[in-house]
Amino acid sequence: MVVTGTGRSTGLLDLAARLVGEVGRFVDQRLELFKAELKQEATDVAKSLGRLAAGALGASAGAVLLLLALGLWVGDLVGSRPGGLAIVGGGLALGGGVLVLLAARSLGQRRLVPGTFGELRKDAEWIRHEV
């Protein structure tokens, strides 16, 4: 038996039960933090994708008209309207490909729930030093 500071004696089983309860609460808190961060990340990504889609739609409509005008102008310069449209189309395809690659790289580098992982690293360090 162990005597606590209050003079009460507590059995080893009681201490083990309290420890299991505390560990359970700790794990529950970590899971709740993880879920909350994951929900926030998903909300942020959804909002960003919505803004991206709306912006892309408006920009695309304007770009189509501008590129058509540019293609016709280049076509008049080179003496062939289909040739001018092909030159502008090729330049657009090249620029769009570069943007797609940059966006894919940016999404690939995004880390989910960094706060939870940071807290878990701190907890693991604490446990290593205390045990």
Q: Using one digit for the tens of pLDDT, what is the confidence trace for 47-59?
A: 988 999 999 999 9
Q: What angle, rounded to 10 degrees, do the helices at 12-78 and 81-108 form?
A: 170
In our burial notation (b when 16+ CB lie closer than 10 A, e otherwise), range 99-115 reads eeeeeeeeeeeeeebee
What's the whole-model pTM score?
0.40
**What's the pLDDT tens digit per position in 62-99?**
988 898 999 999 999 999 999 998 998 899 899 989 99
- Measured CA to CA, the distance from residue 75 to residue 63 in angstroms comes to 18
